[in-house]
Amino acid sequence: MAKLDEKWLQDLLEQILPQSWLEKTAREVGAVKRERKVKVSLLVWTMVLGFADATRARSIASLRMAYEKASGEMLAASSFYYRFTKELATLMAVCVQQALAQVAEPQTKLKGVLEGFVDLVITDSTVIRLNELLKQTFPGARVNHSPAALKLHVVISAFAHGARSIKITSGKTADGPVFKIGKWVAGRLLLFDLGYFCFQLFARIDDQGGFFVSRAKDGFNPVVMGENIAHGLRRLTWGAVRLQDILHRFKGQPIDLRVRLRFKRRVYRGVQSWDEKDFRLVGVFNPDTRRYHLYLTNIQPDTLTPEEVARAYSARWEIELLFKELKGAYHLEDLNTANEWAVRALILATLITGILARTLQGALLRALPGKARQIQRRRFANLFSSVASALLNFVASMYDGEPLPVGHIVRYLLHESRDPNLSRSYVLTGVAT
């Protein structure tokens, strides 16, 4: 069993954002030219941990006071505010990439019905309302309700401690074009909601050797080529038909069909061509709504049954939990400033907060394998928020060369984070097994 002491916590923090790397990178991007009262490395950690503190209001003024308390340096409000520059936002973007590099891959090998995939990847976006003075920089999609808003686009591994990638765009930006396909998708299973329902996107994933599952839109009506059975494709006895014309024939039984889609390829040398591709459509009947849940995928029938496809898709809830965690425990939406660069820097800092919390949670469980329990992530996020101020003081003492004792903090997290309801079912556990 690892000794959960100051050295253990210091190593974990250094893994996420090493101090020497932080200071070197800050100079390279121009976030600091010469340090006086404000140390850039502690400023970064103040943004990461200061807003996570459940006892503080989310404002630049509260961050200044958190920095003063941790460092012992008293600062003028104006000098602290003017630290939030384009260069600081650039530094935070690089810090996010550094943190993601440590945690973006699955922490365990996929098991059960998913063991044939390299990873289970989910993408989605969430809208964050901003100060109305930012409506030119971040125009919102709903002018009357939120004239200024941004979208945070996140790609995560369901079994990792953090995101694979993040992007910040205006609130009007559509989800689909932001998501980029490349060789990295090979062997991975990607889950999409209806905001990404695009035949061209699915075809490109298939071309790159990746796999996908997407909910089908209401009224989705492709040409049905046949029915998937144990020994291959069986042509339908009633001939080539459209999906909506035959749904009633299945009478609540699972659906497993081969469908043909026609779509536009990307423009190449000024020419856009049409193409066709066959995919698999599965359906699982919901007795409560008396309707089918339909999923489009390229996973072969001998890999996952229709019920297993639906169960795998339920892991998409993980990204919703991440957004709830960022907004609930770490106050992602509380951005009242009209400073664009402060908004960008603080959103990126909040993402690092989430990465750190999940990394700490995973490290605690690995350190005590004999006592490991399922931990509800939002429960741990709230606990992490309650000790964020103490962790910031620890970072400051660590940088001074005299780390404060943290054994009591670690014992508190271990004791309180275990789910008292041991019979509780977890989405990922059900998906993996």
Is residue 347, in this structure, part of any structural domain at all?
yes
Same domain (yes/no): 357, 273:
no
Q: Write down which residue in 297, 327, 344 finishes a domain.
A: 297
Best CA proximity match to 181, nearest among 154, 221, 213, 208: 208
pLDDT digits (tens, 9 = 90+) for 39-70: 999 999 999 998 888 777 778 999 999 999 99
Which residues, 6+ apart, have CB-to-CB distance to 44 below 8 Å?
Answer: 17, 22, 26, 91, 92, 95, 349
- 339 backbone dihedrals φ, ψ, rounded to 5°: -85, 110
Same domain (yes/no): 364, 293:
no
Is residue 164, in this structure, part of any structural domain at all?
no
pLDDT of residue 72: 92
Same domain (yes/no): 342, 410:
yes
Strands 146-157 and 241-242: unpaired
Q: Write down which residue in 297, 320, 352 finishes a domain.
A: 297
Is residue 197, in this structure, part of any structural domain at all?
no
Best CA proximity match to 52, nearest among 37, 41, 62: 62
Is residue 1, in this structure, part of any structural domain at all?
no
Is residue 274, in this structure, part of any structural domain at all?
yes
pLDDT of residue 378: 83
- How far is Cα of residue 334 from the mean position of the Cα atoms in its chain? 19
Is residue 215, in this structure, part of any structural domain at all?
yes
pLDDT of residue 176: 87
pLDDT of residue 77: 92
Same domain (yes/no): 340, 424:
yes
The domain of 233 spans 211-297
Is residue 113, in this structure, part of any structural domain at all?
no
pLDDT of residue 184: 93
Distance, CA of 90 to CA of 18 (rounded, Å):
17
Q: In this structure, is the dihedral angle defined by the CA atoms of residues 224, 229, 233 and 239, taken in order, positive or negative?
A: negative
Distance, CA of 413 to CA of 402 (rounded, Å):
23
**Structural domain total, the chain:** 2
For residues 181 and 208, is the Cβ–Cβ distance under 8 A?
yes
Six-digit token pair at 389? 């101020």
- 376 backbone dihedrals φ, ψ, rounded to 5°: -70, 125
Q: Which amino acid is at 184?
A: W
Spans of the chain, pLDDT less than 70: 1-2, 34-35, 105, 107, 162, 230-233, 235-239, 368-374, 421-433
pLDDT digits (tens, 9 = 90+) for 18-43: 999 999 999 999 998 766 778 999 99
Token look-up 């103490």 returns: 390
Cα separations (Å) of 172 from 137, 140, 152, 193? 11, 5, 12, 18
Distance, CA of 7 to CA of 93 (rounded, Å):
27
Same domain (yes/no): 342, 422:
yes
Is residue 45, in this structure, part of any structural domain at all?
yes
